[in-house]
Amino acid sequence: MTLPDIQNTKSDYKFSLNRVGIKDIIKKVRIVKDSEVTEFPAKFSAYVDLPKELKGIHMSRNPQTIQDVLNELTFKPSSHIEEFMRKMSTHLLSRHEYATIAEVECDGIVVIEVPNERTGKQQKAHPIKVKAISKKENDQVKTRVFLNISAFGINACPCAKDLMIDYANEIISERREKFDLNEKNIKNILDIMPIATHSQRCKGSLTIEIPDNLTIDLLKLINIIENSMSAKVQDVLKRVDEAKLVRLAHLNPKFVEDSCREMAIKVVEGFPNFPDDCEVTLEIEALESIHQHNAYAQKQATFKKLREEFKKS
C-alpha cells in the first residue's frame, strides 16, 4: 500500500516560508571533556525554509535528526557543544532536499564547578544557548555557529559613590575643628573608608560566533563576563566574606557602560586567533535597586571592528 505524500503536493499559496519546523523538544545533552562528563537537559528547536511550490515540510525529519546526532554522542562523545550543533544543522539540511537553510537551536543550563576560597569548590548554573545555521551557497553548505552564555555579578554605582564622598566630606569638614583635621587628613580618611553607594545584581551575556576550526571554553566566557563587573556574586557568604565582597565591589564601581566596554576589551585580548568576520554581541543589564527601571548596555560588532576600536583606545 502506497500512502500519499501530502507535503510534496503543490501549495495553494504563492508565498515561501522562512522557518518551518519543531520547537522546544527536550533532550539530554552529554559532553565529555578530559574524562569529565557533563550532562544537562536542553530544549531543541529545528527549522528549515520552505519554497512556495510545496505544501509543507517533512516534519518528522527534524526530531529524527536531533535524536540521531544525540544517539551518536553516546558512542562518539563530543567535547564541545558547538561541534555536535554544527553536525545537527548540516544533517538537517541534507535531509530536506528542497530547503536552502536549516537552523537548530539548543537552550539549556550548564552547571560548572568553580574555585571557592572557603569551600574549595562551588557549583554555578549558567544559561546557555547555541544556534547553528547551515545555508546552501553555490553547491556548497556553509554553517555558522553562535554560542550565548550568561553570568551574574554585582555593580556598584560610581555616580552615587561620588555624591556620598562629597556628602561625607561636607559632614567631616563641618567638624574639622572638633576633631583637629585639615583638608589633607580629611582626604586621606575618605580614601581608606568604605563609602556607601547603591549596588545591583547584573546579568551579563556574551554571544560569540565560533568558526569551524576552533572551539571555545565556557569557563573562559564566564570569567570574561564576571570579571567585567564590580564583583562576583556568591551562593554562600559568611559574615566576613560578605563584608569583603561588599568592600571589593565598592572599591571597583562601574556603570553598565563600563562593564560592557570591559567585556569588549577582554574578548579582543582573549581570542586573538578568531577571524575578523566572526560576530560578537555583549550585553549587560543591571537590575536596579533604587529605580523602577533597569539599566542596559549592548555592543554588537565583528572581531575586526572590535580590534580596530581597541587599537584606537
Three-state SS letters, 95-110: HCCCCCEEEEEEEEEE
Domain at 235, CATH number: 3.10.270.10
- pLDDT > 90: what percent of the chain? 51
Using CA atoms, how far residue 152 sits from 57, 93, 225, 298, in Å, is 40, 36, 8, 16
pLDDT mean across residues, the chain: 89
Same-domain status, 163 and 122: no
Q: Cell triple for residue 173?
A: 569638614
Give the mean pLDDT of 55-66: 88
Contact 135, 141 (CB under 8 A): yes
A 10 A CB-CB count for 96 gives 21
pLDDT value, residue 136:
95
d(CA 7, CA 65): 18
Residue 231 lies in a domain: yes
pLDDT value, residue 30:
86
Confidence of residue 56 (pLDDT cuts 50, 70, 90): confident
Residue 284 lies in a domain: yes
Give the mean pLDDT of 32-51: 88
Same-domain status, 123 and 183: no
Looking at per-residue confidence, does 185 or 256 come out higher?
256
Residue 52 lies in a domain: yes
* DSSP secondary structure, 61-101, as one string: HHHHHHHHHHHHHHHS-BSSHHHHHHHHHHHHHHH-TT-SE
Give the mean pLDDT of 296-311: 96
Residue 207 lies in a domain: yes
Same-domain status, 204 and 255: yes
Rg (CA), the chain: 26
Same-domain status, 177 and 288: no
d(CA 129, CA 117): 30
Looking at per-residue confidence, does 258 or 183 come out higher?
258
pLDDT value, residue 5:
62
pLDDT value, residue 223:
96
pLDDT value, residue 249:
87
Say yes or no to pLDDT of 178 above 70: yes
Contact 214, 274 (CB under 8 A): yes
Placement of cell 562576583 in the chain: 232
d(CA 216, CA 240): 36
Closest by CA to 233, choosing from 220, 222, 217, is 222
pLDDT value, residue 140:
92
The model's pLDDT over 74-128, given as tens digits with 9 standing for 90+, comes to 677 788 899 989 999 999 999 999 999 999 999 999 998 887 777 778 888 999 9
d(CA 54, CA 31): 38
Same-domain status, 251 and 131: no
pLDDT value, residue 213:
87
Q: How many domains does the chain have?
A: 3
pLDDT value, residue 11:
67
Same-domain status, 219 and 272: yes
Say yes or no to pLDDT of 3 above 60: no
pLDDT value, residue 226:
96
pLDDT value, residue 22:
93
Query: How many residues can be counted in the chain?
Result: 313
Same-domain status, 184 and 254: no
Same-domain status, 151 and 284: yes
Residue 142 lies in a domain: no
Residue 7 lies in a domain: yes
Same-domain status, 119 and 1: yes
The phi, psi pair for 2, rounded to 5°, reads -100, 120
Residue 269 lies in a domain: yes
- pLDDT > 70: what percent of the chain? 96
Same-domain status, 128 and 260: no
The model's pLDDT over 247-293, given as tens digits with 9 standing for 90+, comes to 888 889 999 999 999 999 999 999 999 999 999 999 999 998 888 89
Contact 161, 195 (CB under 8 A): yes
Using CA atoms, how far residue 201 sits from 129, 232, 257, in Å, is 21, 9, 15
Confidence of residue 54 (pLDDT cuts 50, 70, 90): confident
Placement of cell 559613590 in the chain: 161
d(CA 196, CA 174): 19
Which range marks the domain in which residue 231 is found? 147-157+199-313
Residue 57 lies in a domain: yes
DSSP 3-state of 34:
coil
Same-domain status, 153 and 165: no
Same-domain status, 30 and 112: yes
d(CA 171, CA 195): 13
Q: Which of 32-41, 130-139, 286-295 has the highest mean pLDDT?
A: 130-139
pLDDT value, residue 198:
86
